[in-house]
């Protein structure tokens, strides 16, 4: 099998393995070979499960030959974020404090992927406890952007985005508490979905009452994202907030002439890079030229609402690691610890009042969005920053009250019932991807994916990724051993 087999979609791989036109064992060898080369140059993996992937591919091949019923992800290589547990595997969450943590638990999402035939080939990098838009940690170092290795890939699901963009896997799992799927998707030129809250059971946190945390997929096309969601969606008693009956994902094509979309180039207060703004205007123009009605609206939002999400996030992190600080503080990322300390200083009353700000944000959103099918805005205010930049470089207001921020994603975790999808929308003059964000009404996951389909048909984005993938010729497979990357 040629190396060209790896860049195929997950849907095509599953069909090919199920019919025997794709040899699952050769596919996995080619995939593992690519992983080794990409790891050397960009560092997206924390572990590569060579022997287990080979064994699973062999079992799948035998099963199909014996007439086994094909499954939705039959033989599809996927990657799981280092933040997400896999039973009996080292799961560090990017922290030296958990450098010896062998998991005794496996979440619903991993069980569902494996039960539908997916082959987990690797774990992907994350900053410490998924805290940052820059994927780097004291434990695993920097993960680099495939379009420019001197720039960040985004975070916190940065390794996942790189694995997809370079053709190592067609699908990767990520987590999104403030944009951690959509940020790296936009900066690496792939598709990333934050589903509506509870569509995928979230059972990996110390609490099942958290309201900003989501699992979400990263892929190269909407068909694969929808396939991933078909497999992992649905209620489970382990998550009290999981949706009892999530609506089926509608695959019918949208006629752009039936659309009425809200547009916000800056969410009212972000200082957006001129090239990002130009790509966004072009994407909006493509829809308008096709007959859609697009109106620029005022959401009535403010930087204060970003601060509210940030305060919530700091308290979340502080609670998550409080039991580890006395013993492990000295090996933790100083930037991460600054967030933890900010969270520890917040009073219970101040924390409770964050929900009042979120309530005002929600009421402003519903008022502004009345009569519109979805909201469009940039995913990121800037293209990928330099590798050595800091999150703190993107948190200030200028003299005009404009936020010099990086991501435009976290506000949609504060109203997490609204799905948010990032799809590629263009390239800067320097060759860096930009992304457009599609935000739906409550639980309207079908709407954002159907709009993503429309963008994919009208603004094809595969060419830049094909160039990146072609730059990683397969290396010879490594010896048959499981390795920590």
CB 203 within 8 A of CB 453: no
Single out the catalytic residue among 9, 95, 156, 302. 156
Q: Of the candidates 230, 234, 214, which has an alpha carbon nearest to the alpha carbon of residue 417?
A: 214
Does residue 247 have an active-site annotation? no
The DSSP H or E segment spanning 475 is none
Q: Hey, which bits of 291-445 come out as E strands?
A: 293-296, 374-378, 395-397, 403-405, 420-427, 433-439
User: Could you tell me how many helices (H) and strands (E) the chain has, helices first?
Assistant: 15, 18
Does residue 33 have an active-site annotation? no
End-to-end alpha carbon distance in the chain: 25
What sign has the CA pseudo-torsion 207, 208, 213, 215? positive
Bridge partners for 148 per DSSP: 145
Bridge partners for 261 per DSSP: 294, 374
CA distances from 105 to 127, 322, 403 (A): 21, 21, 41
Mapped onto helix, strand or coil, the DSSP state of residue 122 is strand
Alpha-carbon gap, residue 367 to 196, rounded angstroms? 19
Q: CA torsion angle for 428, 45, 224, 411 (degrees, to 10)?
A: -60
**Region for residue 106 given its phi and psi (left: phi exceeds 0; alpha: psi -120 to 50; beta: otherwise):** beta
Does residue 132 have an active-site annotation? no
Single out the catalytic residue among 81, 89, 194, 414. 81
Tokens 């030129």 -> residue? 189
Q: Of the candidates 434, 453, 448, 430, which has an alpha carbon nearest to the alpha carbon of residue 282?
A: 434
CB 445 within 8 A of CB 246: yes
The two three-digit tokens of residue 478, written as one number: 């490594």
Alpha-carbon gap, residue 415 to 421, rounded angstroms? 14
The DSSP H or E segment spanning 40 is helix 24-42
Single out the catalytic residue among 18, 157, 180, 446. 180
Mapped onto helix, strand or coil, the DSSP state of residue 377 is strand
Alpha-carbon gap, residue 87 to 107, rounded angstroms? 9
DSSP 453-475: HHHHHHS--HHHHHHHHHTSPPP
Q: Cα 311 to chain center, whole Å?
A: 22
Provide φ and ψ at 400, rounded to 5°: -95, 5
Residues marked as catalytic = 81, 156, 180
């Amino acid at each position: 099998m040629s190396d060209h087999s790896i860049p195929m979609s997950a849907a095509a791989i599953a069909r090919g393995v199920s019919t025997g036109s794709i040899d699952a064992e050769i596919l996995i060898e080619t995939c593992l070979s690519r992983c080794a080369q990409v790891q050397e140059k960009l560092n997206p993996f924390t572990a590569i499960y060579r022997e287990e992937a080979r064994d699973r591919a062999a079992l799948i091949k035998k099963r199909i030959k014996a007439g086994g019923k094909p499954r939705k992800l039959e033989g599809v290589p996927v990657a799981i974020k280092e933040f997400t547990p896999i039973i009996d595997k080292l799961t560090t969450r990017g922290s030296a404090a958990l450098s010896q943590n062998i998991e005794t638990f496996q979440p619903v999402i991993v069980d569902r992927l494996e039960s539908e035939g997916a082959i987990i080939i690797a774990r992907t990098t994350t900053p410490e406890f998924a805290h940052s838009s820059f994927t780097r940690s004291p434990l695993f170092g920097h993960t680099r952007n495939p379009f420019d290795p001197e720039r960040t890939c985004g975070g916190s699901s940065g390794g996942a985005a790189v694995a997809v963009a370079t053709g190592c896997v067609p699908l990767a799992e990520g987590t999104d508490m403030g944009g951690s799927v959509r940020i790296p998707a936009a900066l690496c030129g792939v598709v990333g979905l934050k589903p509506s809250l509870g569509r995928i059971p979230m059972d990996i946190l110390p609490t099942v009452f958290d309201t900003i945390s989501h699992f979400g997929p990263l892929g190269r096309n909407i068909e694969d994202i929808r396939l991933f969601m078909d497999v992992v969606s649905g209620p489970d008693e382990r998550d009290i907030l999981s949706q009892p009956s999530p609506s089926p994902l509608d695959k019918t094509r949208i006629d752009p002439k039936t659309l009425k979309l809200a547009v916000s180039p800056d969410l009212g207060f972000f200082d957006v890079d001129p090239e990002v703004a130009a790509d966004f205007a072009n994407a909006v123009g493509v829809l308008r030229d096709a007959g859609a009605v697009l109106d620029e609206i005022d959401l009535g939002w403010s930087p204060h609402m970003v601060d509210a999400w940030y305060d919530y996030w700091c308290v979340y992190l502080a609670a998550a690691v409080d039991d580890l600080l006395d013993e492990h503080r000295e090996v933790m990322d100083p930037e991460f610890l600054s967030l933890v300390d900010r969270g520890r200083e917040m009073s219970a009353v101040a924390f409770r009042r964050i929900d009042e700000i979120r309530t005002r944000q929600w009421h402003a959103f519903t008022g502004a969005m009345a009569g519109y099918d979805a909201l469009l805005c940039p995913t990121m205010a800037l293209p990928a920053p330099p590798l050595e930049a800091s999150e703190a470089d993107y948190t200030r207001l200028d003299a005009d009250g404009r936020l010099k921020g990086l991501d435009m994603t976290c506000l949609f975790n504060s109203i997490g019932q609204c799905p948010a999808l990032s799809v590629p929308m263009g390239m800067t003059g320097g060759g860096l991807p930009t992304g457009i964000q599609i935000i739906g009404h409550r639980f309207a996951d079908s709407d954002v994916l159907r709009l993503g389909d429309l963008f994919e048909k009208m603004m094809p984005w595969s060419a830049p990724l094909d160039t990146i993938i072609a730059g990683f010729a397969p290396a010879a497979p490594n010896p048959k051993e499981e390795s920590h990357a």
